[in-house]
């Protein structure tokens, strides 16, 4: 595995120097927003905030948070800081309800974005020798083009296959000698399963895959092990995190140590808050990530509430980088299920399931309201349908899964074992939760 650092000056800076740079950039950002975005100007005025009044990084706490609702309320361009002629790209989130969130990039933003991604893919082990297939959907989603430009920047050979068309993906992988893949963890696993199904015709050693640059949805270490085992041949994957409102992928990513996701701190100032009270938490605490994009010009983001739950470790990493590392995303404060007063994250259930033989990695959580109580059903796919005929074995397996999950969550749940390949597969982000509470009588 390659051990390069793309930008030593920025990724290995002394913390005191980094904080000085962050403070300079924060003050400049406040000034920029004050002059160019009415939304921020009004908020600053109301809260008596000027760049001069920001003396330390923690003074950022006097600025109100920005939320997805603010973006939606100002749809499409209300939070933009530049006239349209200075924009060179627009992306938007899918937005299942209401207005999508729209984001715009100046040329400088695109350069910063590619730089951010270049650092993370290098940290993961990609080089100019890498042939990388991008299996994210190209389009308004930031994942594909974000990784595309960053990977081209480091000189890798990019194969922009986009999402779907699994047979074709596998053919190109074999024929082009593709050695890296960009995908969601669930699609990467699905590709591996599909490759295995065809192993009689095309044995697994036809694939040269060595590196998975995975992201855009959660991937527990257990799921990662499964993905790596299914591909085999020393396949190694890292986790990348980001969101459209903060450019896209490129905010943070794992190095080969895989001990947290390195944050591009010269571009992103992070805080962790209590998502209920909004209070800023002590360093190291677990809570909702709030991010200020220090260098964004098109649509600047100050104290953006990501809704993602994590914690941040400020100790330098063994890889030589001094940038802080965030833990893998534990869940989203708004995806978190509250079941009979208990916070449940899908990732907790995923951890409990993986490692149990005879079940596949696909699962679905169904939440219902029965009377006054919420119930949780965990649907898990069997690998071998013949087990359905052996009641005692089936019951034993069901009980094992039930007990494992119950120990972790502390609440009663129902486990259903379903036939192989009955749960939906996803080429983009997987949807694990089916919340039927709104449909109950």
* Cα–Cα distance for residue pair 424/364, rounded to 1 Å: 9
Strand partners for 87: 106
Least Cβ distance, residue 218 to ligand DLL (angstroms): 4
Q: Contacting ligand DLL (CB under 6 A), which of 161, 163, 166, 240?
A: 240
Residues contacting ligand DLL: total by CB under 6 A: 20
Question: What is d(CA 246, CA 177) in angstroms, rounded to the nearest whole number?
Answer: 33
Q: How far is the CB of 375 from ligand DLL (least distance, A)?
A: 25
Tell me if 212 contacts ligand DLL by CB under 6 A: no
| Of 11 and 308, CB closest to ligand DLL | 308
- Does position 235 interact with ligand DLL (CB under 6 A)? The reply is no
Placement of tokens 């449909």 in the chain: 439
Contact 136, 184 (CB under 8 A): yes
Stretch that binds ligand DLL, among 138-146, 151-159, 167-175, 314-322 (CB under 6 A): 138-146
The 303-322 contact track toward ligand DLL, x by CB under 6 A, reads: ---x-x--------------
Report the first-to-last Cα separation within the chain, whole angstroms. 56
Binding letters toward ligand DLL, positions 143-162, x by CB under 6 A: x-------------------
Nearer to ligand DLL, 70 or 308 (CB): 308
* Position among 133, 161, 244, 427 found at the interface with ligand DLL (CB under 6 A): 244
Please list, residue by residue across 186-208, b when 16 or more beta carbons sit within 10 angstroms of its beta carbon and e when fewer do: bbbbbbbbebeeeeeeeeeebbe
Smallest separation, CB 387 to ligand DLL (Å): 32
Q: Does residue 249 belong to the site contacting ligand DLL (CB under 6 A)?
A: yes
Taking the least distance from each CB to ligand DLL, the nearer of 142 and 166 is: 142
Cβ neighbours of 351 (radius 10 Å): 17
Q: How far is the CB of 93 from ligand DLL (least distance, A)?
A: 5
Applying CB under 6 A, does 254 fall inside the site for ligand DLL? no
For residues 49 and 432, which CB has a smaller minimum distance to ligand DLL in the complex?
A: 432
Least distance between ligand DLL and beta carbon 12 (Å): 23
**How far is CA 265 from each of CA 192, 280, 408, rounded to the nearest angstrom?**
34, 18, 34
Q: What is the largest CA-CA distance in the chain?
A: 73
288 is a contact residue toward ligand DLL (CB under 6 A): no
Contact flag: residue 186 with ligand DLL (CB under 6 A): no
Long-range CB contacts (within 8 A, 24+) of 15-24: 15/314, 15/322, 18/265, 18/266, 18/322, 18/323, 19/57, 21/266, 22/57, 22/265, 22/266, 22/269, 22/294, 23/54, 23/56, 23/57
Question: Residues 142, 323, 333, 364: which binds ligand DLL (CB under 6 A)?
Answer: 142
Q: Please, which residue, 49 or 353, has the CB nearer to ligand DLL?
A: 353
CA dihedral of residues 17, 21, 24, 28 (deg, nearest 10): 180
Cα-based distances in Å from 175 to 90, 159, 235: 34, 12, 18
- 89 interacts with ligand DLL by CB under 6 A: no
Locate all alpha helices (DSSP H) within 279-332, ordered by sequence.
Answer: none
Binding residues (CB under 6 A) for ligand DLL: these are 93, 141-143, 215-218, 239-244, 248-249, 306, 308, 329, 332
């Amino acid at each position: 595995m390659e051990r390069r650092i793309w930008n030593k000056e920025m990724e290995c800076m002394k913390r005191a120097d980094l904080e000085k740079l962050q403070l300079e950039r924060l003050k400049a950002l406040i000034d920029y927003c004050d002059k160019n975005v009415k939304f921020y100007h009004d908020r600053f005025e109301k809260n008596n905030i000027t760049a001069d009044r920001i003396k330390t990084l923690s003074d950022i706490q006097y600025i109100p948070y920005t939320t997805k609702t603010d973006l939606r309320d100002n749809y499409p361009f209300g939070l933009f800081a530049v006239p349209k002629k200075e924009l060179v790209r627009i992306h938007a989130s899918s937005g299942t309800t209401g207005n999508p969130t729209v984001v715009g990039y100046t040329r400088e933003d695109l350069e910063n974005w590619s730089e951010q991604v270049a650092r993370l893919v290098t940290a993961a082990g990609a080089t100019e020798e890498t042939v990388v297939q991008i299996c994210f959907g190209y389009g308004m989603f930031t994942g594909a083009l974000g990784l595309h430009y960053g990977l081209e920047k480091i000189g890798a050979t990019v194969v922009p296959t986009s999402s779907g068309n699994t047979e074709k993906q596998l053919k190109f992988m074999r024929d082009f000698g593709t050695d890296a893949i960009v995908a969601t963890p669930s699609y990467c696993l699905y590709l591996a399963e599909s490759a295995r199904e065809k192993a009689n015709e095309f044995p697994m050693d036809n694939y040269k895959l060595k590196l998975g640059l995975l992201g855009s949805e959660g991937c527990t270490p257990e799921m990662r092990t499964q993905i790596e085992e299914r591909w085999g041949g020393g396949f190694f994957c890292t986790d990348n995190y980001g969101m459209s409102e903060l450019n896209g992928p490129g905010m943070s990513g794992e190095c080969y140590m895989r001990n947290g996701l390195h944050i591009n701190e010269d571009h992103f100032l992070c805080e962790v808050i209590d998502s209920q009270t909004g209070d800023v938490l002590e360093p190291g605490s677990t809570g909702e990530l709030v991010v200020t994009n220090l260098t964004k010009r098109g649509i600047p983001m100050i104290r953006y509430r990501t809704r993602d739950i994590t914690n941040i470790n400020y100790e330098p990493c063994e890889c030589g980088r001094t940038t802080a590392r965030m833990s893998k995303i534990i869940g989203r404060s708004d995806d978190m299920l509250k079941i009979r007063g208990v916070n449940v994250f899908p990732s907790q259930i995923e951890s409990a399931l993986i490692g149990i033989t005879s079940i596949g990695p696909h699962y679905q959580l169904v939440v219902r309201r029965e009377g006054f109580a919420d119930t949780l059903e965990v649907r898990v796919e069997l690998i071998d349908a013949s087990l359905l005929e052996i009641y005692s074995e089936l019951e034993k397996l069901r009980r094992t899964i039930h007990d494992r999950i119950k120990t972790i969550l502390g609440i009663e749940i129902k486990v259903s074992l379903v036939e192989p390949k009955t749960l939906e597969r996803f080429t983009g982000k997987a949807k694990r939760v089916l919340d039927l509470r709104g449909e109950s009588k």
